[in-house]
Amino acid sequence: MSPSYDPAAQKPVLRCSICTGEQVAGFQDLHTGHFTEVQLIRSPQELQAFRSRYGIPADCPIEKIY
Q: Give the model's pLDDT for residue 3.
A: 73
Q: What are the residue ranges in the chain where pLDDT is below 50?
A: 1
Helix (H) or strand (E) holding 3: none
**What residues does each domain of the chain span?**
10-65
Q: Give the model's pLDDT for residue 2.
A: 56
Answer yes or no: are the C-beta atoms of 60 and 54 closer than 8 Å.
no
Sheet bearing 10-16, strands edge to edge:
35-41, 23-29, 10-16, 63-65
DSSP state of 4: -
Cα 3 to Cα 1: distance, rounded to the nearest angstrom: 7
Answer yes or no: are the C-beta atoms of 51 and 44 closer than 8 Å.
no
Q: Give the model's pLDDT for residue 11.
A: 97
Q: Give the model's pLDDT for residue 55.
A: 94
Q: Give the model's pLDDT for residue 40.
A: 98
